Amino acid sequence: MKKIIFTGAGVAIATPMNADGSINYEELGRLIDFQIDNGTDAVIICGTTGESSTMTDEEHIECIDFAVKRVGGRIPVIAGTGSNHTDYAVNLSKKAEALGADGLLLVTPYYNKASQEGLYRHYKAIADAVTLPIILYNVPSRTGTSIALETVKRLSEIENIVAIKEASGDISRVAKIRELCGDDITIYSGNDDQIVPIMSLGGKGVISVLSNCMPRETHDIAALCLENRYDEASALAIKTLGFANALFCDVNPIPVKEALNIMGFKAGSCRLPLCDTSDANKAKIRAEMEKHGLVGIIK
């Protein structure tokens, strides 16, 4: 069995921005500490929720470096270093390794529409260039490409490709990955509303948006599943479902940054082309947060 980077709930952490659009590192540090203090099991920096697609190369590297130093070994730091340009992803992955990241999250190449052989060669090139453990990220709704089951199987045979973040929404696919790959690949839920069903099929946790605002509850859902206490995990998942769904009333990470602002963090706005959500969505997010006592809790 391959080494597991983490079990439980890893936060796909948002990147706070100043009013001028620059990264607010002081607030990012506060958010990281809030996560660790409330049970988060790993920090995933520079993912989709972190707005990596609108970061400059320098910012991307600075964010990874900052997260590694701020976490200080307390929990694993996983760096998003994926790209639709293989050489670019290789170079960024090497830099993340040099900075001390504990693992890499590699989104499926987008826009190019690579063949399955192309996907295999892309991921193998990155894996061959680093020693860090790699998490594949399958999110066809964003990339337009899905990693076929047979390709997942082939990739799972590469030593340092150890996991997949499965955000296809297809529970049957998760079962088939488990059947094909067994312990050669760890499965993480990429959707907060599917933590329990995916973990019931052998998944080891979640890479979560919800954790930004409810780290303790998200950790507890995953921890209960790991203890085979699925009735309790399901009850807690259902309790948080309304808010989890509200965090996707608009394109991620627009709603979660709104929610963090409502909590009292200085998350700021998203960078264009993403913009603030509608007043109706803001009201929906706030109403769900009021149910959980989250409004204004960060001073």
State the CATH number of the domain containing residue 76: 3.20.20.70
Q: Biggest alpha carbon distance in the chain?
A: 51
Residue 225 has pLDDT above 90, yes or no: yes
Please check whether residue 271 lies inside any domain of the structure: no
CA distances from 263 to 14, 192, 199, 216, 269 (A): 14, 19, 29, 15, 14
Residue 80 has pLDDT above 90, yes or no: yes
DSSP 17: B
What is the predicted pLDDT for the residue at 164? 98
Q: Which residues contact 279 (CB under 8 A, 6 or more apart)?
A: none
What is the predicted pLDDT for the residue at 3? 86
How many percent of the chain have pLDDT more than 90? 98
What is the predicted pLDDT for the residue at 196? 98
Among 213, 208, 193, 209, which Cα is nearest to 262's?
213
Q: Estimate to the nearest angstrom the gap between the alpha carbon of 190 and the chain centroid.
A: 7
Please, are residues 134 and 124 in contact by the beta-carbon 8 Å criterion?
A: no
Catalytic residue among 137, 204, 282, 284: 137
Please, are residues 169 and 138 in contact by the beta-carbon 8 Å criterion?
A: no
Dump pLDDT digits (tens) for 118-144.
999 999 999 999 999 999 999 999 999
What's the CA gap between 247 and 284, in Å, rounded?
9
Please check whether residue 270 lies inside any domain of the structure: no
Per-residue burial over 66-75, b = 16 or more CB atoms within 10 Å of its CB, e = otherwise: bbbebbeeeb
- pLDDT bracket for residue 162 (50, 70, 90): very high
Please check whether residue 261 lies inside any domain of the structure: no
Please check whether residue 298 lies inside any domain of the structure: no
Please check whether residue 251 lies inside any domain of the structure: no
Number of domains in the chain: 1
Please check whether residue 267 lies inside any domain of the structure: no
Range of the domain at 101: 8-228
What is the predicted pLDDT for the residue at 247? 98
Catalytic residue among 165, 204, 282, 284: 165
137 flagged as catalytic: yes
What is the predicted pLDDT for the residue at 2? 82
94 flagged as catalytic: no
Bridge partner list, 23:
17
What is the predicted pLDDT for the residue at 189? 98
What is the predicted pLDDT for the residue at 269? 97
DSSP 3: P
Please check whether residue 49 lies inside any domain of the structure: yes
Query: Does an H or E element contain 163, and which?
Result: strand 161-166
Residue 1 has pLDDT above 90, yes or no: no
Please check whether residue 125 lies inside any domain of the structure: yes
